[in-house]
Structure 1
Amino acid sequence: MINKNFISTLAMTLVATASFAQQSVEYRINGTCPASVKTVYVMDIDGSRPEVIDSAKVEAGKFAINGKSDKDALLGLTTTKKDYRVFFNDGKPITADLTNNVLKGSELNTKLNAYDREVDALSVGLEPLYQQVAKMYSDEGLSQQERKNKLKELQPKIEAIDTKLNARKLEIIKANMDNLIPVAYLGDVIFGLEYNEMKGLLDDSRVYAKHPALNEVKRYYAIMAKKAAFIGKKFVDIVENDVNGTPHKLSEYCGKGNYVLIDFWASWCGPCRGEMPNVKANYEKYHSKGFEIVGLSFDSKLEAWKKAIEDMQLGWINLSDLKGWQTIAGQTYGITSIPASFLVDPEGTIVALDLRGDKLGAKLKEIYGF
């Protein structure tokens, strides 16, 4: 997803972070690891940019680390600075076996580690698939069509594993809403959730809701809350030009007796273009039943916008004022990240938002019955 951050949402996040207790607590870790390892690291995991905050030399496969960090900070123990065993800095001693990726400490951290290893086991098939994707793009001998064919073969396999992983992470979150464990997993699942489900999981009454490691999650939630405010309300009319410079009102298409998807996108937005085959497939399936799409672009260059429409063969009306992020479409509808979408019912009421992937097809099947 392409994001544009606003000072207001950042300020809100900082206020939420400040309200979470920031008391320094000591961590004490004793452990073992493979004899070939020279150094073990402790990392602070803030949800987006993990950084090393401590390290210890390994002697004969054993190590000990004592240090301080914020109380209940989400930390990681690692030998690679990449793959880490997560734990909360609750002040209880931890015993680590990094050969088998086992951490034992407080009841909370022992439980978290069990989930951590379970999630690892579910994701074991992903790395070979990612390696195949990387190899595919680095192989100069492959044609563009061969790459497309290979990606078409690999993508369903990746998505199948991701679906299982995210479903299990969501189960873990819902089973632990009285403790901090959801902090470790919410960032992985949040982008696939409907707003109402997010709202329930991030309610301020949750003990984890204001944890600093959820900064990015809370920022995304604030964006979604702003968009969700449009649900149940009539669409707001705007005027933008088509590719030929002819002005059109949104009301020419919405509120005219058909369901309309207002699709916010841009030619330079990779995730937007990646979603277009799905949007096209649903348009082709349901257009004869009255389903319409209005594309509202965040482009600023006419030729790039026109070329994208032609290249992807988008058969519906596309409008833009070519003002990039300052487009009237974004300003009117509070769009701070793309791709984004609103589904408008035949009377002109906004009934759903951000129907991407399978969600769009499922909603249209519910509406049209096939």
Structure 2
Amino acid sequence: MKNTLVATLLLASCGYLSYAQNNVIVKGQIKGVESGRLYMLAPVSENRVDTLGTALFQAPDFVLEGRCDEPVVAHIVVENYSGGFPFMAEPGGSYTALLTNGREAYIRGGKLQDAWTGYLKYSTEQRQKISAMKQRHQTLVAENKYRSASALNDSILLLEQQARKETYDFLGQHDDLITAHTYLENAQMRDAGAEQCRKMYESLGEGAKQTPSARILKERYERMEQTEKGRLAPDFTLTTPEGMEVTLSKVAGKVKILDFWASWCGPCRLNNPALKKAYEEYHDKGLEIISVSLDNKPERWKDAIAKDGLTWINVSSLKGWKCDVARLYSVSAVPAIFILNEENRIVATNLRGEKLAKYLEDNLK
């Protein structure tokens, strides 16, 4: 009995120790907000964010404790305020912070966090230096001082080359979350396509590939690959204004135009007359159009359909940019058009105007 009790206590203490080793503690001060709640959040997939911890605070001091099982890019968010304070959270890490809208805000502590913020500081200084030199270059050109401008331009090119090399050298030293996060952030900011994201992911080291940021990057390019030319169009079911459900794969047509749009989108509305003309000319020959609206207000959606005379299939989830189908097709801007053949394979994307007219003429006349 005594041995069993000892074993149980040992197991319990080991479990507690393991839990404590995964704790992330951030202590510091907050300015600009008297009191409220703090959240420590971390993205674990493209569409899911985990809450690592929460805490109430009374300014100026706060203590926020969370838990993570691996290094992750976490964000400290103040309830009811947009934005946040990102940092590299490591299991067992202890951090100090100043949370404020000013430039003096910081989060310090942890090997990854200090390396990341140190490089960001240096990189920012280099960009500012290059920007100032470019402004000086423009001034010299305006003053017709071409020789000085040319010499300065050579210096700018050298500095940019040096900055790129230093970036590659720094990332080359970090087969970890820092490099994976940098690549993911770059892909998101550039709205990089499937091929670019795939190349970024494949260039990561094995250590970096084990991080949450790398997994999200992989998820991103795998999602985008689903709507590449030649792929079977992802199937979906959405509702018409009349409340009827429409499933893409069940819509008959030799050629199908899958059109993502919205009533509030000016270019979409300007494109509707061309779609209307194509539909009137080719519907009897096998053309079908399925317009997926990214509206979230049914009245505006229905009014736009009526005003623009969209007599084809109109569907929507009425969730705006949170529409699962838009995400399924990696739609980041509207209008977005996918051309499908009779077997529901994607044969072209974003054909408009003369190119769309030529495609329909070649395939339906």
Pairwise TM-score range, normalised by the shorter structure: 0.3 to 0.5
What is the TM-score of this pair, normalised by structure 1?
0.43
What is the TM-score of this pair, normalised by structure 2?
0.44
